[in-house]
Amino acid sequence: MRDHSLTGRLADAYRRTGADVPGGDPLPTHGALMEGWFWRFTDVIRGRVVIALCGVNRHPDGPWATVAVAVHPGNVVRSAVVESADASSSDYRVQAADVLKADAGSLHVELDDVCLSVQLHDLVDWPLRLGGGGLVSAVPFLGQYWHPHALGGRVAGAITIDGQSFDLDGADVYAEKNWGAGFPDWWWWGQAQGFADPSLCVAFGGGRLRAGPLAADVTGCIVRMGDRIVRFAPPLSWVRTHIGDGGWRVTARRPGWRAVLEGHGAGTEPAVLPVPLPHERRNVDLDFEHLAGRMRMRVWCKGDLVVDDESTLAALEVGSTDPERAAALAARAAPA
Q: How far is CA 214 from the centre of its chain?
A: 24
Which of 153-157, 161-165, 185-189 bottoms out in mean pLDDT, i.e. has the lowest? 185-189
Distances (CA, A) of 308 to 19, 89, 173, 298: 35, 41, 22, 4
pLDDT at 48 over 80: yes
Instruction: Tell which wins on pLDDT, 158 or 134.
Output: 158
Comparing CA positions, the residue from 297, 299, 42, 39 lying closest to residue 193 is 42
CA 262 distance to own-chain centroid? 18
Q: How confident is the model at residue 245 (pLDDT cuts 50, 70, 90)?
A: confident
Boundaries of every domain in the chain: 6-333
Query: How far is it, in rounded angstroms, from Cα 81 to Cα 85?
Result: 10
What's this model's pTM, rounded to 2 decimal places? Answer: 0.95
H or E, element range at 227: none
94: amino acid identity, one letter:
V
Averaged pLDDT for residues 7-20: 80
